[in-house]
């Protein structure tokens, strides 16, 4: 019955570093894109939106 002794201060620091690293990874994915990549994504989104709007059928307004 010998339990492993854990220093809580070190444990908290290790856990905080791990959380910061995961947040940094997420930020690299979200914000770490070049201007060209951002423009390409925006152009693709606009093209998809235009294609979606082109398929839209408007119903005539009835005056009843």
Say if residue 7 is exposed, middle or buried (CB neighbours under 10 Å; 0-12, 13-18, 19+). Answer: exposed
Question: How far out from the chain centre does Cα 36 lie?
Answer: 18
The answer to whether the predicted template modeling score (pTM) of the entire model surpasses 0.85 is no
Q: What are phi and psi of 25, to 5 degrees?
A: -65, -45
Q: Which has more pLDDT, 15 or 2?
A: 15
- Residue 9 CA to residue 2 CA, distance in Å, equals 21
Q: What pLDDT is stored for residue 55 in this prediction?
A: 80
| 29-58: pLDDT as tens digits | 888 889 999 899 999 999 999 999 888 777
Q: For residue 33, give every residue at least 6 positions away whose Cβ sits within 8 Å of its Cβ, in sequence order, or none.
A: 41
């Amino acid at each position: 019955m010998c339990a492993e002794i854990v220093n809580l201060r070190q444990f908290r620091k290790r856990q905080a570093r791990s959380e910061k690293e995961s947040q940094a990874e997420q930020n690299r994915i979200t914000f770490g894109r070049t201007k060209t990549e951002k423009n390409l994504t925006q152009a693709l989104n606009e093209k998809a939106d235009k294609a979606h709007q082109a398929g839209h059928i408007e119903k005539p307004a009835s005056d009843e």
